[in-house]
Amino acid sequence: MKRYLLIAAAVSILALLPLFLVPVYYLHLLILVLIWSFIGTSWSLMGKFGIVSLGHGAFLGIGVYATTVLWNFQGLTPWIGIPIGIALALLLALLIGYPAFRFRVVGHYFALITLALGEVVRLSIIAARNITGGSLGMTPDRVQPPTDVSWYALQFSDKRYFYVIALLCWLGALLIWRWVNRSMTRPALEAISEDEVAAASMGIHVTSHKLRITLLSAGMTALGGILLGLYNQYLNPSSLSGISISLEIVFLSIVGGMYSMLGPTIGAIITIVFRESLRTYFGVSLAGMSESIYGLLLIVSIIFMPRGIYGAVETWLKREPPPSTSAGADPDPDPSS
């Protein structure tokens, strides 16, 4: 009971935050943290079961570009464009996931296939430069006549609207995480990540379990991309698809800890706060500084804390014996974590 009160208090503080005078810049950071946490959580749903995708940029890009192209060229409201964008991402996930899981493409090979997928989407967006603006990127058209608050186009000049939307999506992702953790899918996928053949011989339908979690993750990632596009009101193929952004999603989740519900959120907070503070204090003269340290942090994190910062702190608090250095199943039996 006490726990639920605590959660309710935390959520209401977060929800009421914009009512107080939070400077716009901090609100901006909060929104970015929430959206990236959402995307990181989506990735971790797959990643924590050993299905490592290096191509989530593909789903990110296809969702946001579909939504924006439909808005700019057909005048279709994002309310219809978003489901279409997500549906396309799901279709792509199905096209890549079904054969991959059916033919037992795992580990390295799955990572490289998804890496190629991310590049396919990025290059296709650039190739379709007549409608997407190529590598220069595109901006969603302003709603006509211009208004400050347009629910129809989901364009708001006040950041607080986006804060609430991002907060709701992030909470939704946490609920989905909890739901997956409490369903039979979790033990099934854990068994699969330990040993696929053994799991199959136990009667676990390997392909369908892996496919379902992949579809879930891909759909959520597409929504995350759409949120980014709507919030920034600017789309760029390199920052929304391809190898670079895909790796960033992976690393954010790993640094935070992909085995815990709040791990990717911690990762997003660390990544964004770190980058922004170094940028404000040192300016552009030290461009690359924060990411260099971040890269080192990643290497150290994977070698010494394979469960990420959150996981390491959690283990330390519980004083459990040190965890195995496995990227496979989460040995933690607590389903609520």
User: Which residues sit at the interface with other proteins, rule CB under 8 A?
Assistant: 50, 52, 96, 99-100, 103-105, 107-109, 111-113, 115-117, 119-120, 123-124, 126-127, 242-244, 247, 250-251, 254, 286-292, 294-299, 301-303, 306, 325-328
Burial string for 93-132 (b: 16+ CB within 10 Å, else e) reads beebbbebbeeebbeeebbebbbebbbbbbebbbeeeeeb
Our CB check for other proteins shows the closer of 2 and 108 to be 108
In the complex, minimum distance from the CB of residue 92 to other proteins, in angstroms, rounded to a whole number: 11
What interhelical angle do 24-47 and 56-74 show, nearest 10? 130
Rg of the chain on CA atoms, in Å: 20
Minimum CB distance to other proteins smaller for 120 or for 204: 120
Smallest distance, Å, CB 117 to other proteins?
Answer: 7
| 145 cis-preceded (ω within 30 degrees of 0) | yes
Per 3-state DSSP, what percentage of the chain is helix, strand, and coil (rounded to 5)?
75, 0, 25
- We find the least distance from the C-beta atom of residue 305 to other proteins, in angstroms, to be 12
What six digits make up the tokens of 17? Answer: 């935050």
What tokens were used for 159? 């950041």
Using CB atoms within 10 Å of the CB of residue 274, give its burial: 0 to 12 exposed, 13 to 18 middle, 19+ buried.
middle
137: left (phi over 0), alpha (psi -120 to 50) or beta: left
Question: Nearer to other proteins by C-beta: 104 or 205?
Answer: 104
Which contiguous run of DSSP H or E holds residue 150?
Answer: strand 149-150
Quote the DSSP letter at residue 235.
B
Q: What is the rounded CA–CA span in Å between residue 194 and residue 202?
A: 13
Which among 260, 275, 276, 272 has a CA at the least distance from the CA of 309?
260
Q: Calculate the alpha carbon distances from 308 to 36, 93, 177 in Å.
A: 17, 27, 17
Work out how close the CB of 327 gets to other proteins at its nearest, in angstroms, rounded to a whole number.
Answer: 5
**CB 69 to other proteins: min, Å:** 17
Choose between 60 and 169: whose C-beta lies nearer to other proteins. 60
For other proteins, the closer of residues 155 and 290 by Cβ is 290
Q: Considering beta carbons, is residue 103 or 152 the nearer one to other proteins?
A: 103
Q: Which is nearer to other proteins, 200 or 298 (CB)?
A: 298
Residue 127 neighbours by CB under 8 Å, 6+ apart: 134
Taking the complex as a whole, how short is the minimal distance between the CB of residue 71 and other proteins, in angstroms?
24
Q: Considering beta carbons, is residue 54 or 82 the nearer one to other proteins?
A: 54
Q: Smallest distance, Å, CB 141 to other proteins?
A: 25
CB of 243 to other proteins, least distance (A): 6
